[in-house]
Amino acid sequence: MANHKVYALILAAGQSRRMGRVKQTLPYGDGTIIEAVVGAVLESSVDGLVIVGTPRLKEFLAEALPERCRFAVNDDPRSEMMASVKIGYRRLVAKFGPADDDGVLVLLGDQPQMTGGTITTLAEAFRLPRRPPGVLIATYRGRRGHPTVFSVGLLSEIKDWPDDRSLNELARLHPQAVRELPITMCPMPIDVNTPEDYERLMGEK
């Protein structure tokens, strides 16, 4: 039986332009938004974690990361999300040496409602088949959301992409490789981009 591994990649280097302040370190629960996302990953069944963020965020999380976690710095505040994906992909490959049919589970660092249960559900669904899907996307009441798991082999295609391209293009380029996984245990997590999003998030606690 195949023993596919799944590694998490948290993208947390956003500029927070619409928020007007660093959103990843805003209070949430007993800690902050980014700590909630990291905590959900650490509660899940993934085999390792890479976080991509700013130098400031690395300093903030320095003492909170266990051995199976690595931090990759994106020090260009003007860069697109694709730049962070490529930085994280390179660090993940260098640290964990995954096989082409292992998975990279991509999460956003500003969705603190993400749960370890949801992450584990995606990871185990990716591991289950002898030949995992190229792309496994979580859906909520029929709408695609996060996380998404990409096979390492498929994700390697982005290495030479310009930074203005979107990771979603991989699914559009390879529709035959895409599978959807309905998530019924919880609603779609709020993506905290604006002060209004943060107010809604805190109102749902």
Tell me the residue type at 152.
V
CA–CA distances in Å: residue 160 to residues 31, 114, 190: 37, 30, 31
Residue range 64-74, pLDDT digits in tens: 788 888 999 99
**Which domains does the chain carry?**
6-203 (3.90.550.10)
Question: DSSP characters for 96-115?
Answer: H---TTSEEEEEETT-TT--
Per-residue pLDDT at 1: 45
Per-residue pLDDT at 62: 80
Average pLDDT over residues 146-166: 95
CB under 8 A, 24+ apart: contacts of 124-132 = 124/45, 125/181, 126/4, 126/6, 127/2, 127/3, 127/4, 127/5, 127/6, 127/103, 130/1, 130/2, 131/101, 132/4, 132/101, 132/103
Percent of the chain with pLDDT over 70: 96
Q: How many CA atoms lie within 13 A of 1 on its CB side?
A: 5
Distance between CA atoms of 175 and 55, rounded to whole angstroms? 36
**Cα torsion through 18, 183, 167, 109, rounded to 10:** 40
For residue 201, what are its two tokens? Answer: 């998030």
Residue range 78-134, pLDDT digits in tens: 889 999 999 999 999 999 999 999 999 999 999 999 999 999 999 999 998 888 999
